[in-house]
Structure 1
């Protein structure tokens, strides 16, 4: 007769406390903390945006 309790026996599990768990990606931890973000736009991008804004302004022409 086979011993049926061996298959259903509780397995030994090692559990770590959350404080002891090593972060998977240290760069992601720094980014979540608030130091990361989008960079400033360069001068060419700003100049292009200003030119497009000028083209959108209405032209006032006075006809006498």
Structure 2
């Protein structure tokens, strides 16, 4: 039987380990699993270019319909 892998990060206040399901790196999304996004200027420009390209492909109209 395969057990689910838990995060195991210890809380400062209680000292108990986190029981959340771990991602592939061994920690849960709250303890080091999620990306923080681009931090360099080049990375932010790349994301902006990709977003504007995607929005130009017809999603702009769908995205703005709710406003």
TM-score normalized by the length of structure 2: 0.26
Structure that is richer in helix per residue: 2
Between 1 and 2, higher relative CO (CA 8 Å, sep ≥ 6) is seen in: 2
TM-score normalized by the length of structure 1: 0.27
